[in-house]
A and B are shown apart, each in its own frame.
Chain A
Amino acid sequence: MASLQGYVDHRVLLILQDGRAIVGVMAGFDQKSNVVLSDSKERVYSMEEGVEEIPLGLYLVKGDQIVLIGELDEAVDQAVDLSTIRAEPIPPIHY
């Protein structure tokens, strides 16, 4: 089974269908891959300025909105100066 169990209590990056990127600590999940994140922030990417982090706190994401869940290497993630990153936002999913 491609389970999410290994991600609980780990810092993760969620990519959503609309292209949003959200980081947070996975507090829990269920059978439909609905996910609860604690201490979460949206990372807003643009070519004009560095990455903006918008605090979201405790956040529930519906499973059908999720594209991808990635486990963050916290050391690598903290070493990145987000203010220097310029990138297009991730495109939304189109079926």
Chain B
Amino acid sequence: MLIFSVFKTLTDQQVTVELKNDLSITGVLKSVDQFLNIRLDNIKVLDEARHPHMMAVKNCFIRGSVVRYVQLPPESVDTQLLEDATRRESAAQTKR
């Protein structure tokens, strides 16, 4: 839930999604859901010469389960807020 919320705060920001098939796609984060499926607009594949497969693709839906990394814009991430939220969530979990 925490990570889902983080991604929601990053909508309309530029991110780079690296997939488990080694494809890296940069684009504007349009939406995310509870499975961390991601929709990107205005996409660009890294090293397009080697990967022309997505030349004509303008926006895409990426299945959360195939994501390895997402590179985030550091200026849009409040790390103190994240750490506090993580402590709160883990405390709530242990109480159960």
Contacts and interface: CB of A to CB of B under 8 A. Distances in A.
Contacts of A13: 53-54, 56-57
Nearest to A74: B56
Contact of A68 (B32, B50, B66): B66
A17 B62 CA distance: 12
B33 A87 contact: no
Interface in A81-95: 85, 87-88, 90-95
Interface of B: 19-23, 25, 30-33, 37-39, 43, 50-63, 65-66
B56 A67 contact: no
B53 A43 contact: yes
A67 B61 contact: no
A68 B58 contact: no
B43 to A, nearest CB: 7
Given A2-B38, A2-B61, A70 B52 contact: no
Nearest to B64: A2
B66 A90 contact: no
Given A2-B32, A73-B58, A80-B55, A92 B21 contact: yes
25 contacts: A1-B33, A2-B30, A2-B31, A2-B38, A3-B33, A13-B53, A15-B23, A33-B37, A33-B63, A63-B63, A67-B63, A67-B66, A68-B60, A69-B61, A70-B57, A70-B58, A70-B59, A70-B60, A70-B61, A71-B57, A71-B60, A73-B57, A73-B58, A77-B56, A80-B55
Interface string A54-79: 00000000011011111111101100
